[in-house]
Amino acid sequence: MALAGMGTLLTAGYLLVVVRRVCMGDPRSTHLSTAGHRGRPGLRIRCLDPLVALTVLAGLWPAVLLGLSNPQSRHFSEAAEPWP
């Protein structure tokens, strides 16, 4: 049980590092500049707003997402052959 909890914490930490590097680049890199974003300082934040909103929506009201996927998953489970 403790090992599973430690694995979850390590996975969450690794995921945060990857998302930070993908969205903001490697902080140790010297070739990154903000020249392409002059005049639009909040561009990165505005681009991530829909993703954040959908993540919060799916976390607070999972029935919305499950309502969209449940009919298809039922169709596939009924169409699948039973296990031998």
- Distance between CA atoms of residues 22 and 59, nearest Å: 23
pLDDT digit string, tens, across residues 24-66: 776 666 655 555 555 566 666 777 788 888 889 888 988 888 8
Q: Which two tokens stand for residue 53?
A: 């909103």
pLDDT digit string, tens, across residues 10-29: 999 999 888 888 877 766 66
Query: What pLDDT does residue 6 have?
Result: 93
Query: What pLDDT does residue 51 have?
Result: 85
pLDDT digit string, tens, across residues 64-82: 888 888 888 888 888 777 7
Residue appearing with tokens 């914490």: 9
Instruction: Report helix angle 43-60 to 62-79, nearest 10.
Output: 70
Task: Tell me the residue type at 66.
Answer: L
Say which residues have a Cβ less than 8 Å from residue 23's Cβ, sequence separation at least 6: 44, 48
